[in-house]
Amino acid sequence: MINLILNNNSKRIISIIAGGGDLPLKIIEKLNNLNINHNVVSLFGFGPEDYPQFKVGEIGKILEFIKSKGTTDVIFCGNIKRPSLFSLNLDSVGRKWLKTLGIKAFLGDNTLLKGIKELLKKEGLNVLSPQSILETLLTPKGILTKNSPSEQDLQDIARGIFVLNTMSKADVGQAVIVQEGIVLGIEAAEGTQCLIERCKDLKLTEKKGGVLVKTSKINQEQAIDLPTIGKDTILQAEYAKLSGIAIGASQSQIIDYNETIKHANEKHIFIIGV
């Protein structure tokens, strides 16, 4: 995908819809290095403060801004906490979008994001995935760290994948923590960090053990929302005394890959792409 972008970089103008974390800044840095014309929409309360700030509900203002820049492509990156639709204070365009989305707006994240992608296409905007710019984001398959999962860890990973695949049919959950076959917790609206914090006190023993399993849902909207881990995830896993992390190969992303693997090795936590 990046070759296509490079071949057409004179014609492309990319708008980055930026949430929190390091990923938006890395996308910006990469586009600068590629000399690709771009602009940034920073989501208020989440994204970097040194770019134009827009509230999540200001759909019309965001569209007006990116269209004034001649935008051809949009990249969603960074994390946000999904707010209640009733608290968004949607502008007139947002209310129109909500009416068009209908029931999709009240189902799971994946259904909502697919609906938003369709609406952007109707506005003449193509949605690019972050990994189309940062190809090293995608998780490789296999054991990525010096530490390897034990036989019990592998059984817990298999259990976690089964649970997530079952839950994904209802468009719920990208992560689960399993210890000795027992599901300690499933990620809901709170995010992975809160899941880990919640499960710390639910562990079967105080000793190191348990696995965070994180994968894409069935038919996940991968251009906008992929399961993600990074250095912070390693620190959280260490805090909860987890043995390791299993994450979907080629269907998830690792921010700061080399640094994340280095941190995992230092903390004796395994990472495996499954």
Kindly report, residue by residue over 56-100, the tens digit of the pLDDT.
888 889 889 999 999 999 998 888 776 665 666 777 887 887 777
Cβ atoms of residues 59 and 2 within 8 Å: no
Using the 8-state DSSP alphabet, how is residue 157 labeled? H
**Cβ atoms of 200 and 239 closer than 8 Å:** yes
Amino acid 153: pLDDT: 97
Q: Do 220 and 129 meet the contact criterion of CB atoms below 8 Å apart?
A: no
pTM to 2 decimal places = 0.78
* Owner of token pair 């203002």: 61
- 225 in Cβ contact with 110 (< 8 Å): yes
Alpha-carbon Rg for the chain in angstroms = 19
Inter-residue long-range contacts of 26-30, CB under 8 Å, 24+ positions, other chains counted: 26/134, 26/255, 27/75, 27/77, 27/130, 27/133, 27/134, 30/133, 30/134
CA atoms of 43 and 56, how far apart (whole Å): 6
Structure token pair of residue 243 = 């043995």
DSSP character at residue 136:
G
Q: Does residue 16 contact residue 133 with C-beta atoms inside 8 Å?
A: no
Mean pLDDT by 10 residues, the chain (274 residues): 53 89 90 92 90 88 92 89 66 78 58 70 88 87 96 97 88 89 90 92 91 85 76 95 95 90 97 96
pLDDT at 263: 96
